[in-house]
Amino acid sequence: MSLADLRTHYTAAINPEEIGDEKVTIAGWVHEVRDLGGICFVVVRDRTGRGQVTLVKKKIDKELFDTARKLVRESVVSVTGTAKPEGKAPNGYEIIPDEIKLLNESQSPLPMDTTGKVEAELDTRLDSRFIDLRREQTTAVFNIRHEVLRAVRDFLTDSGFLETSSPKVVATATEGGTSLFPITYFDREAFLNQSPQLFKQILMSGGLDRVFEIGPIFRAEEHDTRRHLNEATSIDIEASFCDHFDVMVILEDMVAYVYEQVIENASASLEALGVELQVPKTPFMRLTYDDAIEVVNSKGGDMLAWGDDLGTAAEHTIGEHVFKETGESHYFIIDWPTEIKPFYAMPYEDNPLLSKGFDMMHRTMELSSGAQRIHIPELLVSRIESQGLDPEGFEFYLKAFRYGMPPHAGWGIGCERLVMTMLGVDNIRDVVLFPRDRRRLSP
Ligand code: ATP
Ligand code: MG
């Protein structure tokens, strides 16, 4: 059963005028069987769409007609025949079959509806993801996610970045704290890495100059929210001889490029989801942390003091404010208090209470955090200590700063948050094939 026997065309690739009398073979799932007595329609679905197979009882072999009538929905078939134009059929053609191969029969009833007529709960869909993916809207999300990652790779490669990979099993917490999953590594304790941060920086000392990584990050966050996963996909960059403003430009340009590419290459998927995308306008608005606090406090409600982190409610207030001012959803918050940014964020030389850390926000949530990093080893040690961490645990990292570390900057942006804000999806689990959250460890 080679591909040559089972499929010559995807359903969306058939144009009867071009093909003429040449035989075509499509392969996929039985989406629908409509048996009207004298005529039977079988709709076959593949990743690209649908193709209609039409059998007229009087004109076709009896055995073939009976095979078609008895097909169970969601069974896998391969159909060979001649394509004819048919305006009322999906993709504008119908196939008059010579042969229908039943490759795998589906059991019935199905664990969930695939026609989109009954809206299943997210949990039901995730429990039977293989069936959920047979829905057009679900496939559309993952087509777009593919397009997002492809665009990211192209953009960063064209901007001189090397794709790298860092270990996910590590001995030290990136930022300390409790949000780590401990694991057993032979007879030692180890952790699943919460971020490639420390490794990206070591690569700057190695002279790789500009690197990116697309990989999993693990966060043992206890909370069960619509925008947190315990295993997420992070798009990370690090660039030498750059400050925070340089990498902010790379970030906003990348986001705009990703939107453009999705519009250009995934229009059918956007349409299936009913999403009309606008490319965000660059440069994104830059708000200082002080401005952000003022926006929140001027609205009344819970007052923020200088040095407080911005909670979800504050982020929404600021996002709405920016949207009203600019009509745009994306913006930066810069000049954060050093104390609430990670130890590796560079303080401003003339005002060390402020750091060169930034967040890139969407109206609805944080998308990315970044900074110019500290490249001076003594300053780094003192920042590690003042965050209550032990520099000894960071020796493998600190070593890379003592023998020629260039100034550098970088950021990490959550792939899922980028996709969900783009599509207006409100639960992050919808944009991950097999999400890991507080309750879900399978499938
Ligand atoms: P938040 O405050 O929203 O929990 P964070 O500041 O802890 O995020 P960072 O450590 O700054 O997250 O990570 C950089 C980016 O990685 C975030 O802006 C986000 O897009 C993504 N990210 C981080 N943690 C998660 C998570 N648990 N689930 C999904 N995406 C995440
Ligand atoms: Mg952050």
- Residue-wise pLDDT tens digits, 352-405: 999 999 999 999 999 999 999 999 999 999 999 999 999 999 999 999 999 999
CB contact set of 201 (below 8 Å; sequence gap of 6+): 238, 344, 373, 397, 400, 405, 408, 410
Annotated catalytic, 417?
yes
Portion of the chain with pLDDT greater than 90, in percent? 93
Longest CA–CA span in the chain (Å) reads: 89
pLDDT tens by residue, 190-217: 999 999 999 999 999 999 999 999 999 9
| DSSP H/E element including 28 | strand 23-35
- Atom in ligand 1 nearest the alpha carbon of residue 359: 18
pLDDT tens by residue, 70-120: 999 999 999 999 999 999 999 999 999 999 999 999 999 999 987 767 788
Which of these is catalytic: 45, 50, 417, 429? 417
- Atom in ligand 1 nearest the alpha carbon of residue 417: 20
- Give the model's pLDDT for residue 115: 73
| Cis geometry, peptide bond prior to residue 283 (ω within 30 degrees of 0) | yes
Name the band, by pLDDT with cuts 50, 70 and 90, for residue 431.
very high
CATH 2.40.50.140 in the chain is located at: 3-104
Name the band, by pLDDT with cuts 50, 70 and 90, for residue 178.
low
CATH code at 132-431: 3.30.930.10
pLDDT at 168 over 90: yes
| Residue of 258, 333, 369, 437 to test ligand 1 pocket, by largest number of atoms within 8 Å of CB | 369
Annotated catalytic, 219?
yes
CATH 3.30.930.10 in the chain is located at: 132-431
Q: How much distance in Å is there from the Cα of 414 to the middle of ligand 2?
A: 10
Q: According to the CATH classification, is domain 3-104 in 2.40.50.140?
A: yes
Looking at residue 30, the DSSP 8-state letter turns out to be: E
Give the residue, by CA position, lying nearest to ligand 1 atom 12.
369
Backbone φ, ψ for residue 418 (5° rounding): -60, -45
pLDDT at 134 over 90: yes
Annotated catalytic, 366?
yes
- Give the binding-site residues of ligand 1, using a 6 Å CB cut-off: 219, 221, 228-229, 232, 234, 366-369, 412-414, 416-417
Annotated catalytic, 69?
no
What's the rounded mean pLDDT across residues 322-348?
97
User: Nearest bound ligand to CA 428?
Assistant: 1
pLDDT tens by residue, 287-307: 999 999 999 999 987 899 999
User: Nearest bound ligand to CA 234?
Assistant: 1
Give residue 217's identity as a one-letter amino acid code.
I
Alpha-carbon dihedral sign for residues 194, 200, 201, 203: positive
| DSSP H/E element including 272 | helix 267-273
**Token digits of residue 252:** 């906003």
β strands within 258-415, DSSP E: 285-288, 330-334, 347-348, 351-355, 357-362, 365-372, 408-414
